[in-house]
Structure 1
Amino acid sequence: MSSCRDTAIEHMSLLFTDYRPQFFIRPDGTVLINLRNPAGKRLMSRVIQQEEQTSAVLLNNLVERIRRDLMTIEGPLEEENVDWFLKRIELQTFVPVNPTHRPRKIVVAGARLRALSGK
């Protein structure tokens, strides 16, 4: 598991070099990522779930959600970034603590925005 975790951390480090990423390994196997601006102000924190550490697709979805959040935080939305908000991204909405619980539900982000845009 640690090799997948290390690969995910390395991948995120390379993608977010402008935001000074910091990583903290949590006892449950997840990884907390803090992104800071060049002045040192924390912009956001996100958790990299174990499933995201082992799946390139899920990790890429997390990266895209973080990029969208950063665009929102840094505002105003530039014309060339509109496509990021029109793209379908799967969101994982349930993390079972007990294996007897139902599996994760996948929802699609941005459907309402795409419908309003006419695309």
Structure 2
Amino acid sequence: MKFIKKSYGGVKEILKTKNFEGIPVMVDDTGITADSNGNKIVKAGTIIGGSTKPTLLNENEPVVKKNTQSSTGSDAEGVLLYDVNVTYGPASGSMLIKGNIDLNKIPEQPCEDAKTALLGRVLFMK
């Protein structure tokens, strides 16, 4: 029999203001490295988008990290609102598609391509 120990704590808040819009998404576990406890956690504030095509056009498309510079621009569609545990495979999460994010509370600063892709919908503030 397998037992899993879980610790429950407060939810990490990445929002600068309380007004936001979000949608449910499936967070892919591909390429996520396990931490020292063996857990694969995709952190709140991770810039995400569909793995092969836009999630906003296909709700069945899983999301992956999209905070990268490229010659064709970023495919960023939103920001992961809360931590998601993908240790046992893809898991559900929430993608912020409109709102204000506190730059001091996210795991990685957004690249210029990601900022451009989210311009007018997501504002990164200090």
Q: Which has the higher helix share?
A: 1
Higher relative contact order (CA 8 A, sep 6+): 2
TM-score (norm 1): 0.26
TM-score (norm 2): 0.25
Q: Which has the higher strand share?
A: 2
Structure number, greater radius of gyration: 1
